[in-house]
Structure 1
Amino acid sequence: MPVVSVVIPVRNDAEHLRRCLAALAAQSRPADELVVVDNGSSDDSAAVARAAGAVVRSEPVPGIARAASLGYDTASGDVIVRLDADSVPPPGWIAAALGLLEDEDVVAVTGPGRPSDAGPVVHALWPVLYMQPYFVLMHGALSRPPLFGSAAALRRSTWLAVRDRVHRDDPEVHDDIDLSMQFDPAWRVLADRSLTVRVSARPFSSLPSAVLRTRRAFHTFRVNGRRATPTRRWARRARVALQARDQAWWRGR
């Protein structure tokens, strides 16, 4: 059985973190290690994490990419689960992620979020204006599904292959997209509804919040240069698929 580490970056989000850690304690397949990265919190987020038995690392320089990368570097598991402090995974979430990763060709798995603290209007608009556009547009740009940082799991070997390419020192990158962009376009990533988690509705909390996320997404494409070019990514994916088909044909002769 693979060893599972859960990484949670947090900044002044103690109450949400407490709920996330309680949901992790209720998993049918518990995590073997919890790593919480305190990104300069002034509340008791670190104390909440320690009370739950988590390894707490401190990253005083603000930046989600920086905090998440420190967590991935710290994690010792074969599989690294990434959740946000406001993520509330259902009891079978880790087991479902491991089941999808049994396919050795799959390097990472992810799922969508649904709001846990919103009214009926936001519930109705959430998939149409947020989740579906994110997965559809990013799939088109990346040539495969993107990771959604509130609900993702990747192999440790995957992280080690890309850790030196992520823009961890740039606080303006969208860390989910940046990490996804470092994966070889031919690598297989699965997006599955069985990995849905409950999250805060903060992306819909205000227009500035939505603008900030959009600006960071465009910034992430800019800093990645040629690696972010969709035509190059789809061409790479097509070349690898053709090579695999040809190799299968020769083996079958």
Structure 2
Amino acid sequence: MRISVVVPVLNDEHHLRTLLEKLASQTRQADEIIVVDNGCTDDSAQIARSAGAKVIVERTRGIPAAASAGYDQTSAEIIVRCDADSIPPDNWLEKVHEEFAGNPAIDALTGPGYFYDLPRGLRTLGSVVYAFGYFAGLGSALATVPLWGSNMAFRSSLWEELSQEVCREGSAIHDDLDLSCASQGSFVLKFVPSLRVKAAGRVYARPAGLRASSKVALNTLARHGGLKGIINRWSAVLGFHP
């Protein structure tokens, strides 16, 4: 199976350089790396080209548009998505490949992260709190595993079916959560605890970052029916018919 890595980028040259170096040292190399230039005014695009990545330009601002544009351009059976500030271990893509190759029933997978740039005494606590809120809290609302954009992968067949159902513009939607909602009921999503990456703790660094992120999460859930959607998803999982 071929693997494509998609990275949406907006003025993140320093993080991107580190990520591309880590991708170059993978024990299982990506078959292609697609960096989506979402209006960069720094050297992100040039850094990506110098590292051998394919650069495409998406002028509509926002991660939903940038990520979707990247997925549309992939040529591999497996699409891996991360952010420019993700720092994967050297066996990251090897683990992704093993998971999909070993279980044809799985359509998508994701794993946790560790916020490496928080104050030393808060790194573990901040990472655990965020992971619990995201995977347990949102997982309860979705009745399935929520994919996390800093560390996720899915089969191209999933994207082919859902590419016109997800939100492809704006910034008031979490694209990873949106894709997770659209996947529920039709595709198998798996959480892999050992599939870990490091990531920047930007959600804590921004003023009211957690509150803003939670608001966008609620907007995303509202797009998929809000409370009624939650009830319907659990009813389907439990075999009820409300």
Normalising to structure 2: TM-score of the pair?
0.94
Conservation of the 8 A alpha-carbon contact between 2:114 and 2:124: no
What is the rounded CA distance, in whole Å, between the counterparts of 1:206 and 1:48 in structure 2? Answer: 26
Aligned to 2:104: 104
Is residue 2:72 matched to residue 1:73?
Answer: yes
Structure 1 gap segments, 5+ residues each: 241-253
Aligned to 1:133: 133
What is the rounded CA distance, in whole Å, between the counterparts of 1:181 and 1:215 in structure 2? Answer: 16
Structure 2 gap segments, 5+ residues each: none
What is the rounded CA distance, in whole Å, between the counterparts of 1:28 and 1:14 in structure 2? Answer: 24
Q: Which amino acid aligns with 2:203?
A: P
Q: Which amino acid aligns with 1:127?
A: S
Is residue 2:19 matched to residue 1:20?
Answer: yes
Instruction: Decide which structure has greater helix share.
Output: 1
Please provide the CA RMSD for this pair.
Answer: 1.6
Is the partner of 1:57 in helix, strand or coil?
Answer: strand
Conservation of the 8 A alpha-carbon contact between 1:113 and 1:197: yes
What is the rounded CA distance, in whole Å, between the counterparts of 1:208 and 1:106 in structure 2? Answer: 36
Residues 74-123 of structure 1 deviation map (CA, whole Å, 9 limit, x = unaligned): 11110000010000110111111111112111000101110122222321
Question: How many residues are matched?
Answer: 239
Q: Which amino acid aligns with 2:63?
A: I
1:1-253 alignment to 2 at 5 Å?
Answer: 2-102=1-101, 103-185=103-185, 187-225=187-225, 229-239=229-239
What is the rounded CA distance, in whole Å, between the counterparts of 2:228 and 2:195 in structure 1? Answer: 26
Conservation of the 8 A alpha-carbon contact between 2:100 and 2:106: yes
Aligned to 1:249: none
Aligned sequence identity (%): 38
Aligned to 1:247: none
Q: Which amino acid aligns with 1:95?
A: E
What is the rounded CA distance, in whole Å, between the counterparts of 1:187 and 1:234 in structure 2? Answer: 15
Distance 1:186 1:49, change over 3 A: same
Q: CA deviation at 1:227?
A: 9.6
Moved more, 84-93 or 179-188: 179-188
What is the rounded CA distance, in whole Å, between the counterparts of 2:60 and 2:227 in structure 1? Answer: 27
Q: Which has the larger radius of gyration?
A: 1
Q: CA deviation at 1:172?
A: 1.0
Q: CA deviation at 1:170?
A: 2.9
What is the rounded CA distance, in whole Å, between the counterparts of 1:238 and 1:99 in structure 2? Answer: 30
Normalising to structure 1: TM-score of the pair?
0.90
